[in-house]
Structure 1
Amino acid sequence: MRSLSMTYTDRDGRAVHALDGIDLRFPEGGVTAIIGASGCGKSTLLRILAGLETAYQGDVEVAGAPVQGPGLARGIVFQDHRLIPWMSVDENIGLALHRLTADERQARVAATLSLVGLSAFSSAYPAQLSGGMAQRVAIARALAHRPRMLLLDEPFGALDALTRMQLQDELLAIRARERVTTVLVTHDIEEALYLGDRVVVLSSRPGRVAETIDVDLPHPRARNDPRLAALRLALYDNYFHS
């Protein structure tokens, strides 16, 4: 992202300056966590990366190609799993695989379900899944077409604390195996530091890069690591303490 800015019109017809002068690189194979106060433009930035927002100023590229709309080079997971309720798990995952033959599609779906530990639930429907299982299916769907980037918009925010921690660890295991470049938007400082190789702090609207922090700690990390606690306290005091 180079000199990225965006202004949009809200429902009341007012101009909203969401992002201003964003310059960011997302290292290949790494996890970049983006945090900031509510309304600072975190989700807007992610939607631009996904190609879901195109009325911006500046340049956005993935692997040297400009982002001009949605594409299979980027998979996205939202806070709500957004699975199609009348489709089974394997049908939901196979949605983006229409370019493959039936046999190739079946093999890819099976491999991706195995990746997220849900092989036994391929024939289940979304209503039969727990919230955590549904989010794992959403992650599988985003990964099934083997994107260069995995974009996560507060994917664990609606889950209970224990399920959230379990899925955080599963995400790290998937990332280690797949080496997919990951961008995570979260409001949770602890989650950002536990998962991220880098943490990008956005200022209040209009969102600007206030700070970029390298979390130079190897995985697996201990959640009670005092170094993480010190980083969390510093971030909270500097940017979120009123």
Structure 2
Amino acid sequence: MVSSAFLRGKCECLVNDKPPFFLEIRITPPEKDSRAAYNDIYADEGLSQLPSFYIWFLDSLELGHSGRLLDVSCGSGEVVALARQRGLEAHGIDISYHAAHRARNAGYICTGAGETLPYASESFDYLTNVGSLEHFLEPAQGVREMARVLKSDGRAFVLVPNTFSLSTNIWHALRTGETSIDDQPIQRYAARADWHRLLEQNGLQVYKTIKYERAWPRQRADWNYYLHHPKELARLLASPFIPLNLAFCFVFFCKKA
């Protein structure tokens, strides 16, 4: 296993502006196939959040009760299934065959990379990308593809992690002296303004940003989770007091530039 971490500027820009900077962590060698890595992950436990997170996420978005939604890097299909329940024509795409198999009953699911979406231009009213852009081989190209398939009056919602998360990265470094990693092939962190620049330099226009720390439990099982994980409960209770720029993650509300 090869691991590296470094700061670097991303210069794949469509406008002449300051490039965004990321903390990039590679757990596997660059030549390793990302699809194979995510097939291994989803053949095992997969990647997902508590059910309350997905309810919170869709509740936070400015969605109608009709239209076409695409969840890029849909994983097991939680966002797709919930969007479908709310009346949307919900589609999902994931690089992992195993993830797509898990999501097969959630909606219209296919496999493919986020950097080369197999859809016609201006196909979707809504686009979501939940904690996945930071794992793309080419995140700037991924944003350009999101902008391409979004309708001219469509909306995109992108959740990404903060380099300077008070409750995660900073707290973990304070306690252990180490970097917080999640064992996916590639992990990137950036500050709010850097993510904002990446989106706006590649075809999207940010019109609103909110923070995400922890979602308030909406189901009994999620209450039980917090009751059995006191550290997570403490993070939940502290969430309202954490400022935007020190949040765990950002959700960018975007329209087509």
TM-score range, shorter chain: 0.3 to 0.5
Highest RCO, 1 vs 2 (Cα 8 Å, sep ≥ 6): 1
Name the TM-score, length of structure 1 as normaliser: 0.34
Tell me the TM-score normalized by structure 2.
Answer: 0.32
